[in-house]
Structure 1
Amino acid sequence: MHSGEDLLFQCNQCDKNFSWKGDFEKHLTTHTGKKVHKCSQCNQSFNKKSNLTRHLTVHTREKPLQCNQCEKTFSLNSVLEKHLKTHTGKKPFQCHQCDKSFSWKSEFVRHLTTHTGGKST
């Protein structure tokens, strides 16, 4: 357990404390927006190495995540989570004008334009 005495680096923007200079410097990029991790294939930049690693699956076409209910595989956890909704059958976004229901808010918002002549509300 840390006594707090070993926390030598304090962020002056959010008051978080760090024991290690490297961790402190990584943390500072969350405030500065500095993106030091560059993709060698498309030059896109990221503030965290983990974000770059996740991005690299776009280039490798690697899909290490598999749905536990079907055979589909995915590169990103967020896409897998969205896919999992297709197995639940839940459609929480209901149109009050025509009673159609949608699984995702983006589909629902797009649908609403059919009632507004193509303009989103």
Structure 2
Amino acid sequence: MLPTLRPGDRLLLRWGAPARPGDVVVARHPWQPGLLIVKRAVERRPDGWWLLGDNPRITDDSRAFGAVPPAGVVARAVLRWRPPSRTQPSRLRSALEWVGSAVRRTGPSAGRLARSRRLRAR
């Protein structure tokens, strides 16, 4: 899910919440039911949700396994928390930059214009 999510990011999830187009969701992988995946819900189709990662070069999403049944989408991400990096220098400027980017909303209203351009480009 780069660039939206990075390794080590934490998500505040709303379990059982209905997905909407543009939401970051947690779903069960259709081929490996014990595996949970984090993807963006792009659109609702007759056979389920079409899920895509934000990195177009990684194709481990609906382009590989098709639509995910609605019951397979188990949670919707509400908030992303990025813990401070231990490798960052402990300067005030670095701390202020981290605070500005540490917490972000993940729903459709967060960055709607940038995301809509990215989805149209595919």
- Highest CA radius of gyration, 1 or 2? 1
State the TM bucket, normalised to the shorter chain: under 0.3
More strand by share: 2
Structure having the higher helix fraction is: 1
| TM-score normalized by the length of structure 2 | 0.18
Higher relative contact order (CA 8 A, sep 6+): 2
